[in-house]
Amino acid sequence: MLKLAAEADGPVGASAPVSLLDWFDLGTELILVLERPLPAVDLHDYITENGGCLPEEKAKVILKQLVDAAKDLEDKHIFHRDIKSENILIETGSDVPRVRIIDFGLSCFAKKRSVYRLFYGTPIHTPPECYGRKKYRAGPTTVWQMGVVLYEALHVGDFNTMTFLQKELKFNKDLSPHCRNFLDACLTNVPEKRPTLGDLQLHPWLR
């Protein structure tokens, strides 16, 4: 959070991650004073308030911002680890919903080739490689999380990796070809075959 604050371009509220306003080390606990955007709801509630799933065009607006924010974190060598609908705030004070990322409690600094063996994050969103290889990397995991967020934005109900791997999750048949391709690419089982965040920024669905 200090690194994000030090490298922030502009005033409080200008970045996608919420701003750190102050902090206090009490020895046994650490208190962070964070920006609270208003009016805003988390993406999970935003989806619920919009009938349980979003129109593809509205999901695209959110995913474009989210991918850009995730790429910016990656460029700063920050691995959030738990990007999900509950950790994404949607500012609702304007015509266009604005994405803000919260809850960096599981975050860490990551090098390009860093490998992790103990999974930190939401268990039902665990990427497939954690089950088979017992290890995962920051980039492919974050891309997987982009797919999870998009799936939950476009479908009624929560995403579950095990259900997905057992081919029991149903996909919306009305998605455009570019959208379905984006979703399939993010949720590719083999991490080396997933696009990078930079690739996603250039994907035709977000252009």
Which residue matches tokens 């935003």? 46
CATH fold label, 38-206: Transferase(Phosphotransferase); domain 1 (1.10.510)
Query: What pairs with residue 91 in β-bridges?
Result: 40, 98
Q: What is the pLDDT of residues 145-157, one digit of tens each?
A: 999 999 999 999 9
pLDDT above 90: residue 51: yes
pTM of the model: 0.95
Q: What is the pLDDT of residues 68-78, one digit of tens each?
A: 999 999 999 99
Q: What is the pLDDT of residues 14-42, one digit of tens each?
A: 789 999 999 999 999 999 999 999 999 99
**Domain locations in the chain?**
38-206
Q: What is the pLDDT of residues 87-125, one digit of tens each?
A: 999 999 988 999 999 999 999 999 888 999 999 999 999
- Exposure on the CB side of residue 195, measured as CA atoms within 13 A: 18
Catalytic residue among 42, 72, 82, 103: 82
Is the CB of residue 20 less than 8 Å from the CB of residue 2? yes
What's the pLDDT score for residue 9? Answer: 73
Is the CB of residue 99 less than 8 Å from the CB of residue 73? no
Catalytic annotation on 45? no
